[in-house]
Structures are given as C-alpha cells and as structure tokens.
Amino acid sequence: DVPDPYYGGQHGFSHVFDLVEDASHGFYHSVMK
C-alpha cells in the first residue's frame, strides 16, 4: 500500500515518491526478463 502523503509534509511526499520509484524499477526489471 502507498500511504497518503498529503498530511506528511515534504517528508510524506518524498517517502511516497521513493516507494513508487522503487516499485517502478522492480516492475520494469520483471517485465524485461
């Protein structure tokens, strides 16, 4: 699950961005296999 970053300030948005970025890289690598 990806948390709602709205109430977490800049840290909340940075955390969500990191989660989405990591998931995107994992998805890309699994598709390219």
Residue 30 pLDDT grade (very low, low, confident, very high; cuts 50, 70, 90): very high
Instruction: Output the 3-class SS for 3-28.
Output: CCCHHHHHHHHHHHHHHHHHHHHHHH
C-alpha to C-alpha distances, 17 to 2, 29, 32, 33, nearest whole angstrom:
10, 18, 22, 25
2-11 pLDDT, tens digit per residue, is: 999 999 999 9
DSSP 8-class letter at 31: H
Cα 26-19-9 angle, rounded to 5 deg: 165
Q: Where is 30: in which H helix or E strand?
A: helix 9-32
User: What is the predicted pLDDT for the residue at 24?
Assistant: 98
Average pLDDT for residues 3-27, to the nearest whole number? 96
Question: Residue 1: is its pLDDT beyond 90?
Answer: no
